[in-house]
Amino acid sequence: MDNTISISNLERHFQRGEMDVWALRGINLTIASGEFVALVGPSGSGKSTLLNLLGGLDRPSSGELWVAGLPLHDADGKARTAHRRHRVGFIFQSFNLLPRLTAVENVAIPLTLAGVSPAERTARAAAMLQKVGLGQRLDHYPAELSGGEQQRTAVARALIHGPSLILADEPTGNLDSTTGAEVMALLQALNKEQGITLVVVTHDADVAAYADRVVHLKDGQVAELTVNNPPSPVTEEHVSATGNALSANKAQSRLSLADTVRSAFRNLGRRPVRNVLTAAGVLIGIITLVAMV
For 246-287, what is each residue's pLDDT tens digit? Answer: 444 444 444 444 454 455 545 545 444 444 444 444 443 333
| Same domain, residue pair 11 and 37 | yes
| Same domain, residue pair 156 and 64 | yes
Three-state DSSP at 31 gives: strand
Dist. CA 3–CA 285, nearest whole Å:
31
pLDDT the model gives residue 112: 87
Contact between residue 51 and residue 84 where contact means Cβ atoms under 8 Å apart: no
If one counts the domains in the chain, the total is 2
| Same domain, residue pair 52 and 163 | yes
List the chain pLDDT tens, one digit each, 293 residues.
Answer: 567 899 999 999 988 888 888 999 999 999 999 999 999 999 999 999 999 999 999 999 999 999 999 999 999 999 998 998 889 999 988 889 999 999 999 999 989 888 899 999 999 999 999 999 999 999 999 999 999 999 999 999 999 998 999 999 999 988 999 999 999 999 999 899 889 999 999 999 999 999 999 999 999 999 999 998 655 454 444 444 434 444 444 444 444 444 544 555 455 454 444 444 444 444 433 333 333 33
Measured in whole angstroms, how far is the alpha carbon of residue 193 from the centre of its chain? Answer: 19
Domain that holds residue 45: 5-255
Domain harbouring 226, CATH code: 3.40.50.300
| Same domain, residue pair 63 and 88 | yes
Q: Which amino acid is at 72?
A: L
